[in-house]
A and B are shown apart, each in its own frame.
Chain A
Amino acid sequence: MVATMALEIFAQQTVNGLILGATYGLIAIGYTMVYGIIGMINFAHGEIYMVSAYLAAIFLAVLHFFGLTSVPLLLVAVLLATVFVTALYGWFVEKIAYRPLRHSTRLAPLITAIGVSLILQNYVRIAQGARSQGIPSLLQGSFVLPVGDQGGVVQITHVQLLIIIVAFLSMAVLTFIMQQTSMGRACRATEQDRIMAALLGIDTNRIIAIVFVIGAAMAAIAGVLVSLNYGSFDFHIGFITGIKAFTAAVLGGIGSLPGAMLGGLILGLAESFFAGFVNSDYKDVFAFSLLVLVLIFRPSGLLGQPQITKV
């Protein structure tokens, strides 16, 4: 009986961890790509994610008001609209806060990133209020799968299934774009040697803007999915989720795209196993301890390449 319980918790926490990890991974992509291309940590990225949750709620309300009642159509429309507008946010943030500082010290854009983060938080607080907002659950129902032979079950709601499908699909699409298209090649070239890429005719400023747009779009996908799942959010959710996603990016090796996805999944699974089997109050402690451990043995992260300094 105890074994069945453990198996049941294990299966349920695997599902929960995958969902949590997929969203961390999606957000971590923004951190890792921006770091890879201009070597800065975009602390405003968590706030972009928060903004996307609000945008999703707004689009949902507006589209519903105009009579769009079919749930699948509504989901697709909200996702596309949110991704588009959030990508615009990412583009503007790069244009206004980081591009003018491109040739200054490395620390300057870090400070503006913190500034942008505060501005976005307070802008949303003033515009939308400090109380937490919610969206109605659009998808009801769940699948119940049997686990083991003693009648244990694991429950996957439709929203959770949607999260897993959309998250992994968008990661696959992004990987394909980066590996197979000429734009992706230009991104990778700019990441390796920005000056050389410019001398080969690549408009590196544009590529950097594209990377910010991609990062924001991925965060927006996560934002829509998470707010569909939990149903409520406030102006402060960007902070802790952003820190977690950043941790995932560092865990996987910052600068590495598959690393961000892997780091997100590992962090999500670790957190949810710890919460399920040990103590849910200390799951964050465990996640960060994991980070410390990994960095002691692999300072460049799981899939990151060690920096070789030429003497």
Chain B
Amino acid sequence: MNTLLDVQDVTLRFGGVVALNRVSLQVAWGNITAIIGPNGAGKTTLFNCITGFYKPQNGHIILTPPNRSATHLHHLLGQSFAWSDLVHPGQVWGKLRAKMFGGPHSVCRAGIARTFQNIRLFKEMTVLENLLVAQYRQLNRYFIGGLLGTRYFRDEESMAINRAMEWLRFFALEADANRLAGQLPYGHQRRVEMARSLCTDPMVLCLDEPAAGLNPMETQALSQLIRRLKNEFNLTILLIEHDIGLVMELSDHIVVLDHGEVIAQGRPADIQRNPRVVEAYLG
């Protein structure tokens, strides 16, 4: 098994409340990993840690792309200086850099994208613009080029539009490209959000309850899309979902959280028979 994302002993406290308690899990490259658990188990909190929205007090989250060096995701959010910096002055530069320029955006740039349970589209912008915003990193950021309409700027812009249109075609949304994102029906908005996060060119796609509020037919279509993302684009997918049928059907690996702790993980068939899981869900 080739581990892409390694979560080691992550602990997150809000004041006295322990939201995550020594959570460890591995996400294999090219797999669909589902995180399930009762409400308030800390699933979304874990997502927030992985995507750099929260900074855990303890533990490591390490992203190791194949054939590349590992990235400690929480280092990208900025660390405090320590006495050991005097012994290893080499690391000071990296820390200073992360302090000044780091943040959730560097986690995204490292290759992690996410969607939200409550959809967070830029409602006042068109669908296409939403997808172009997500390509900001890949694009020419200097407005002078845009102002003068240089060839370089126009080429990049049309490349970005092509990339966005490809993803819109994949999600069957081409017809909505120039509509305002806020005016789309709910099911479409969900797919736009997925298309937008894919435009950041991620390695790991974190989906927070993608099937929430969808009818059974839409859920079925979604399940096929997620499977195609895995098979055709080699994406690694992290999934939070309450629809157990969808989870069992899709995932290669399941992690069960309860009260901020991992109570079980394994293949779908094993999880179904695990007594602790049954207890957490029924009791």
Contact = CB atoms under 8 A, between A and B. Distances in A.
Interface residues of B, number: 39
Interface stretch (B38-46, B141-149, B212-220, B239-247): B141-149
Nearest to B196: A200
B141 to A, nearest CB: 6
Contacts of A195: 53, 104, 120
**Most B Cβ at <10 Å: residue of A185, A193, A205:** A185
Contacts of B53: 195, 199
A214 to B, nearest CB: 10
A192 interface: yes
A188 B124 contact: yes
Contact of A196 (B120, B124, B147, B153): B120
Contact of B133 (A177, A189, A205): A189
A217 to B, nearest CB: 12
Contact of A200 (B123, B124, B133, B153): B133
Contact of B134 (A173, A184, A200): A200
Given A182-B141, A192-B122, A200 B146 contact: no
B73 interface: no
A198 interface: yes
A197 interface: yes
Interface string A90-125: 000000000000000000000000000000000000
Interface residues of A, number: 26
Q: Which of A189, A197, A201 has the most CB of B within 10 A?
A: A201
Contacts of A200: 105, 108, 113, 133-134, 136, 196-197, 200
A202 B136 contact: yes
A183 B141 contact: yes
A6 B196 CA distance: 58
B140 interface: yes
A237 B146 CA distance: 35
A176 interface: yes
A180 interface: yes
A173 B196 CA distance: 28
Given A181-B147, A188-B124, A200-B108, 12 more contacts: A181-B153, A182-B135, A183-B141, A186-B136, A192-B122, A198-B105, A200-B105, A200-B134, A200-B136, A200-B197, A201-B137, A203-B103
Interface string B100-115: 0101110111000110
A282 B132 CA distance: 50
B122 A201 contact: no
B223 to A, nearest CB: 24
B143 A202 contact: no
Interface string B152-165: 01000100100000
**Main DSSP-derived SS at the A contact region:** helix
A-B pairs with lowest CB-CB distance, top 4 = A181-B146, A201-B108, A198-B104, A201-B137
B125 interface: yes
A199 B116 CA distance: 11
A177 B137 CA distance: 17
A32 interface: no
A199 B133 contact: no
A98 B122 CA distance: 25
A183 B139 CA distance: 9
A200 B192 CA distance: 14
A229 interface: no
Contact of B105 (A182, A192, A203): A203
A122 to B, nearest CB: 30
A16 interface: no
A204 interface: yes
Contacts of A198: 103-105, 108
B261 interface: no
A199 B73 CA distance: 13
